[in-house]
Amino acid sequence: MPPAPKKRRRTPRQLLRGVRRRARRVAGRARRVFWRSLQLRVVTSTMVISIVVVAVLGVFLMQQIIRTTLETREIAAKSEAQADRNAVLGYLNQPAAEAAKQPVEPGQALQPAGSSPLSQATEALARRAGSASRYSVIIRNETLPGAFYGTTNIDPVSIPSRQRDELFKKEAGEDSTWYTPLYYKGQPEQPVPGMIIGTRLDSSYEIYHLVPLDKEERTLASVQQMIILVGAGLVLLLAAISSLVTRQVVTPVRLARQAAERLAAGRLDERLKVRGEDDLARLATSFNEMAANLALKIHQLEELSQVQRQFVSDVSHELRTPLTTVRMAADLLFDAREDFDPMAARSAELMQNQLNRFEAMLADLLEISRYDAGAADLDVDPVDVRDVVLRAVADSEALAERHSTRFDLRLPGEPCMAEMDSRRVERILRNLLFNAIEHGEGRDVVVSVAADRDAVAVAVRDHGVGLKPGEENLVFDRFWRADPSRARTIGGTGLGLAISREDAILHGGWLQAWGSHGEGSQFRLSLPRVAGAVLRGSPLPLVPPEVEMRRTWRGHVTPVLSPAAADGGRDAD
């Protein structure tokens, strides 16, 4: 057995492109779902607005709680600091206060032993502060750098030097408050959020109250979590409420949309259930009344159309018998016209011409009645489109000579084989050529043929008056004329292009028109090469290439005015 082929490993760039394509597809699906669902858009908008409002209110509320908590703690700490300062002043003002000014080595113990007034004051402050969780006190003397007295194991590095400098600039007895991390000996890497209240005494002593705020921080963190949870719950609750309320409105609208789609698909008995007496109920009532009136009008139009089709069919068939008799008599008179006097001979020729025109009109009416009855069918054979075009041009030569029109044939050198009903396609081309001669004002008519793998196309281009905007589809309506005041030089019923379009549709093809006022018009017939195949494109453009090129040139080139034109069009003397 041959070895199994190895799977080709994809490069990181290919993997990245694949991920991007999948992400774009997912984003595209999500975007389509979002814009197609009114309920989803309302719920999403409500959630976004709710999140913004709740976030703003939560931030504002949290700031107020933090400010209130810190202000309360600061007021209490300042009150205790004032009391401690008065106590220290009382101890320092004793007669033995001179003993406290003895030299102290830097780095002395936090709670030195002895009976000096400063030691007594430190011990008293320690008893007042209690545990370190309330606050700690550090007493320093600015004349003895490095010496301090403390009530706990608080590290003096907690006091920033910049804040000490600011304290020296203030008057004695004036407080300074700082928010800074507090450090304890033995725990240098675990600072505690805290607040420092510093005061300078008259006797060159500094008293610092270090208040830890770890409890307040934990309390505020709990409050913040609670606010976030309550805000998230509130947002979800608002989203659920908006979804419920929107559903009550969207569901009847969705039912109305589905009913309208079924009504448009032809189910004229579709109706909505009416519940209540609100606006949605009145909408359902109005929809039901509209559907009933529409069904009635459609039924009336169908009956009228059926009567009209039946009338056209019956009249067309009934006219065949008398027309045959009249044709036989007219042929006898036309053949013997040389024996008549000139007036009678001319009358015989006119009668012959009008009978030919009447037979053509009757043939068109019979053909359109067959299309209305759904009785038209195809006799498909593989033919060369070029031969069909040449036969149609040969049939139109006499009419073209009378209008001084010349045909410009642009046929490919290779055969253009396609499966089609050559009789019907030739009739389409004759109608297009007659129309081009009628409206071409004596200019050349260009006939182009092209083919590709799936389709063949024939384009008939005239250089006459052209079409006005919006008339590209009207030209295929029955009995429609572009300019009713214009005299017709070619007799007809006004059904030629309508029958041509029906023939093209019967082949599974397209018959399209383009026109521009003053630039002429072009009709393009596109047919599949294989009968029954789906037509996906045409080998020929609908807009003539020279017109498209001229429009592109005009869009990219700015006209340059002559000096006379730029001066208002006045000629120079």
Residue 480: HSE in the Cβ half-sphere, 13 Å Cα cutoff: 13
Main-chain dihedrals φ then ψ at residue 384, nearest 5 degrees: -90, 120
The pLDDT value given to residue 346: 86
The pLDDT value given to residue 104: 40
Contacts of 243 (CB under 8 A, 6+ apart): 39, 42, 43
The percentage of the chain sitting over the pLDDT mark of 90, rounded to a whole number, equals: 14
Top-confidence residue, 142 or 193: 193
Residue extents of the structural domains in the chain: 94-216, 381-483+494-555
Binning pLDDT at 50, 70 and 90, where does residue 323 land?
confident
Q: May I ask the CATH class of domain 94-216?
A: alpha beta
Question: How do residues 197-244 score in pLDDT, each as one tens digit?
Answer: 888 776 677 888 888 888 888 888 999 999 999 989 998 898 888 888
Minimum mean pLDDT range among 104-113, 227-236, 426-435, 511-520: 104-113
Q: Quickly list H helices, 336-377.
A: 342-373
Task: Give the C-alpha distances (Å, rounded to integers) separating 383 from 54, 309, 331.
Answer: 76, 34, 36
Top-confidence residue, 534 or 489: 534
> Span 176-199, mean pLDDT?
83
Binning pLDDT at 50, 70 and 90, where does residue 482 land?
low
According to the per-residue pLDDT averaged within each range, which of 29-33, 149-153, 436-440 is highest? 436-440
The pLDDT value given to residue 57: 92
> Span 563-567, mean pLDDT?
36
Top-confidence residue, 101 or 344: 344
Top-confidence residue, 487 or 197: 197
- Please give the mean pLDDT across all residues of the chain: 78
According to the per-residue pLDDT averaged within each range, which of 80-94, 288-302, 319-333 is highest? 288-302
CATH fold, domain 381-483+494-555, is Heat Shock Protein 90 (3.30.565)
- By C-alpha distance, which of 145, 184, 135, 190 is closest to 168? 145
Q: Which residue has 């453009």 as its token pair?
A: 541
Top-confidence residue, 302 or 396: 396
Question: Is the CA virtual torsion 114, 117, 120, 125 positive or negative?
Answer: negative
pTM score over 0.75: no
Pairwise CA distance, residues 363 & 354, whole Å: 14
**Are the folds of 94-216 and 381-483+494-555 the same?**
no
The pLDDT value given to residue 97: 41
> Span 486-507, mean pLDDT?
73
